[in-house]
């Protein structure tokens, strides 16, 4: 199975190499800002000409928003815009123009309604201080040295890696990988190089192909599995909050940049800003490491994994829980599960956003109308089942995979998974078409007794 995979390594640059990398990142920013200014000028001119009543065929010619079109305009004007362009690789300017072409395409598709998701705004100019230095190389000499401790990139030369690249080097030597591009980027005060590689992965199978596990993601516990396992939430951001406050206060006491007066930051401000950036980068690295270990274990062990389609952006609007939700990394956990289950020949089932996993009883299938977030123990008024609400939700998710079947990989909506919770406890109602009996007279449930029967088949309860 061929797939696109990234290999990221930290690099130890010499002062000269660091200046060269910053120069290439600056060249990408210059090309991006100049091309964006050119596009905006043409658009404003066309708007003014339309206000004068000029016909469309007499308007100022438009600038192509594609990468070849922007590159053609840049090559025709680079001698006047950047006389120093020979000092940097052509890939640096191509990086900035490619970013602008993608941004304009996303904005255009979002404005026309052909792009799904949240609205995308018009591209903005990149700041030298606030933007992240980055440059991508797609052509030229890109290789790993035989000692596996150095890489060679165009114009930057031979760069020393902070760690060994033996895993990628083995694939390259065996012919099961091909480097497509290399991106040099500075994160948290450190430089990294990321190789975009086309990898021919061997077919793998989970250790338990027939196993079905439901994963309920939360804040108290990062994940509650239908098997009863509780994965603790490490809360890396909360643990580092005291040091982050200390470093933030220290930074505020230094003389920083001021655009209104043109004041440049002091050297002490730069060092304090670097310390704060490293502290935040450490939190991000710890979170990423924990999520990778959890998702790899789940994908390698279970054949089917069921998660919920959470509205993370909406959950972040809760000012009391936003920091904890962001610290847990709900979206990143689902993203990693999506491609790792594919790598291991597994199946990921995503429950519908309106599927009442927490309100449904995993024993009899009765659904509660309301369930407050403060109620951490689920008590069924129909059958008397009492258990942790997160474990109850995880068991319902596991049963959903059995109902969907082998062909239900991907987003799945169970019966009754709509915006309204139909069942108001054990109330005698008229049974709707397509619903199943909960095993008791006069009780209608979206899943009925199918949940308990499915869980019995899957786990032997």
Distances (CA, A) of 269 to 244, 247, 265: 15, 11, 6
User: Across the strands, what pairs with 307?
Assistant: 350
Write down how long the chain is: 461
User: Across the strands, what pairs with 298?
Assistant: none
CA 40 – CA 56 distance, rounded (Å): 18
CA 233 – CA 235 distance, rounded (Å): 6
Residues with active-site annotation: 216, 308, 390
Instruction: Give the 3-state DSSP-derived string for the chain, with helices as H, strands as E and coil as C.
Output: CEEEEEEEEEEECCHHHHHHHHHHHHHHHHHHHHHHHHHHHHHHHHHHHHHCCCCHHHCCCCCCCCHHHHHHHHHHHHHHHCCCHHHCCHHHHHHHHHHHHHHHHHHHHHHHCCCCCCCCCCCCCCCCCCCCCEEEECCCCCEECCCCCEEEECCCEEEEECCCCHHHHHHHHHCCEEEEEEEEEEECCEEEEEEEEEEECCCCCCCEEEEEEEEEECCCEEEEECCCCEEECCCHHHHCHHHHHHHHHHHHCCCCCECCCCECCCHHHHHHHHHHHHHHHHHHHHHHHHHHHHHHHHHHHEEEEEEECCCHHHHCCCCCCHHHHHHHCHHHHHHHHHHHHHHCCCEEEEECCCCCCCCECCCCCCECCCCCCCCCEEECCCCCCEEEHHHHHHHHHHHHHHHHCCCCCEEECCCCCCCCCCCCCCCCCCCCCCCEECCCCCCEECCCCHHHHHHHHHHCC
**Nearest alpha carbon to residue 181 among 134, 214, 220:** 134
């Amino acid at each position: 199975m061929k797939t696109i995979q990234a290999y990221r390594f930290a690099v130890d640059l010499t002062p000269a190499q660091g200046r060269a990398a910053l120069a290439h990142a600056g060249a990408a920013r210059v090309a991006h800002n100049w091309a964006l200014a050119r596009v905006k000028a043409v658009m404003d001119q066309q708007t003014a000409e339309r206000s004068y009543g000029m016909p469309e065929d007499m308007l100022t010619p438009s600038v192509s928003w594609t990468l070849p079109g922007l590159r053609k305009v840049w090559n025709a004007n680079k001698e006047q815009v950047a006389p120093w362009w020979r000092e940097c690789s052509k890939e640096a300017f191509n990086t900035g123009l490619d970013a602008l072409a993608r941004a304009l395409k996303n904005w255009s598709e979002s404005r026309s309604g052909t792009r799904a998701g949240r609205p995308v705004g018009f591209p903005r100019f990149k700041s030298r201080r606030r933007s992240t230095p980055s440059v991508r190389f797609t052509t030229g000499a890109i290789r790993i040295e035989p000692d596996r401790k150095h890489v060679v990139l165009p114009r930057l030369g031979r760069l020393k890696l902070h760690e060994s690249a033996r895993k990628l080097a083995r694939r390259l030597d065996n012919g099961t990988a091909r480097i497509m591009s290399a991106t040099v980027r500075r994160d948290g005060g450190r430089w990294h190089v990321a190789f975009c590689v086309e990898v021919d992965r061997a077919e793998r199978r989970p250790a338990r192909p027939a196993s079905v596990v439901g994963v309920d993601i939360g804040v108290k516990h990062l994940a509650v599995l239908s098997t009863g396992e509780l994965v603790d939430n490490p809360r890396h951001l909360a643990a580092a909050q005291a040091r982050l406050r200390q470093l933030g206060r220290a930074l505020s006491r230094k003389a920083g940049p001021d655009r209104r007066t043109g004041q440049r930051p002091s050297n002490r401000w730069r060092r304090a800003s670097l310390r704060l950036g490293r502290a935040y980068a450490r939190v991000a690295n710890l979170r990423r490491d924990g999520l990778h270990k959890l998702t790899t274990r789940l994908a390698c062990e279970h054949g089917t994994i069921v998660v919920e389609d959470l509205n993370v952006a909406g959950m972040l609007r809760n000012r009391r829980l936003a920091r904890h939700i962001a610290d847990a990394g709900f979206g990143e956990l689902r993203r990693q599960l999506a491609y790792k289950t594919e790598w291991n020949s597994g199946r990921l089932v995503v429950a519908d956003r309106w599927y009442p996993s927490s309100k449904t009883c995993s024993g009899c299938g009765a659904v509660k109308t309301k369930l407050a977030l403060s109620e951490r123990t689920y008590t069924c008024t129909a059958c008397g089942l009492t258990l942790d609400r997160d474990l109850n939700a995880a068991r319902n998710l596991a049963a959903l995979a059995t109902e969907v079947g082998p062909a239900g990989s991907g987003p799945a909506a169970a019966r009754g998974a709509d915006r309204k919770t139909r069942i108001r406890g054990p109330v005698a109602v008229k049974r709707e078409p397509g619903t199943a009996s909960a095993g008791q007279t006069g009780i209608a449930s979206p899943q009925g007794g199918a949940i308990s029967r499915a869980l019995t088949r899957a786990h032997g309860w």
